[in-house]
Chain A
């Protein structure tokens, strides 16, 4: 069965970096895109962007350029989200979500990774 398993919670200080992993199983990794979605505490879902798992080409939503980087290791069917120069407002749950290239929907989601930024 399709599974997306994300890395565990992180506690970081402002200015540090964090790398969240999302390991896929149960399907051909390169046949679907991988999206990243942020949910701040008590807030709604915010689409951060996606990465083409065939080409490695990322697309970033407005507001997620510069400090946010999507990457892949297709040899282990894993997608990564790296955030640098962390700020308190980056505190959120980050989800990876498998996306159909044609339908613009996310049919399977990881369990979420809580990133807390605090001094």
Chain B
């Protein structure tokens, strides 16, 4: 099972919007609406930001949104804030009770 493909880094200025892509295959992202996104600050445990493609857990800001088209899922963060600077990982169900993570994207808020 190969890792999902994410850009290594993205950046944006406060107040702007950014989108992080997550490209898989027809065996994972393309077959299931089961993509989740995690935020990880340095030295901390990951935090669930989006599940089932576009749903937000309680307490997660509505500035975070998820979507999918074909084999590519996307995380959009609007109204960028300094505290959004972190690593972001996508994860997809890949069939047969297996998951696969993306390689991670470092978000820099300029």
Contacts and interface: CB of A to CB of B under 8 A. Distances in A.
Contact of B103 (A44, A61, A95, A106): A44
Query: Which secondary structure dominates chain B's binding surface?
Result: strand
Contact of A104 (B34, B46, B47): B34
B110 interface: no
Nearest to B52: A103
Contact of B45 (A46, A105, A109): A109
A62 B104 contact: no
B23 to A, nearest CB: 15
Contacts of B97: 50, 59
B64 interface: no
Interface string B80-110: 0000000101011100011111111000000
Contacts, number: 65
Nearest to A4: B45
Contacts of B48: 105-107
Interface in A57-77: 59, 61-62
Contacts of A103: 34, 36, 51-52
Query: Which secondary structure dominates chain A's binding surface?
Result: strand
Nearest to B2: A62
A45 B1 contact: no
Nearest to A59: B97
A105 B32 CA distance: 13
A58 to B, nearest CB: 10
B45 A95 contact: yes
A44 B89 contact: yes
A45 B46 contact: yes
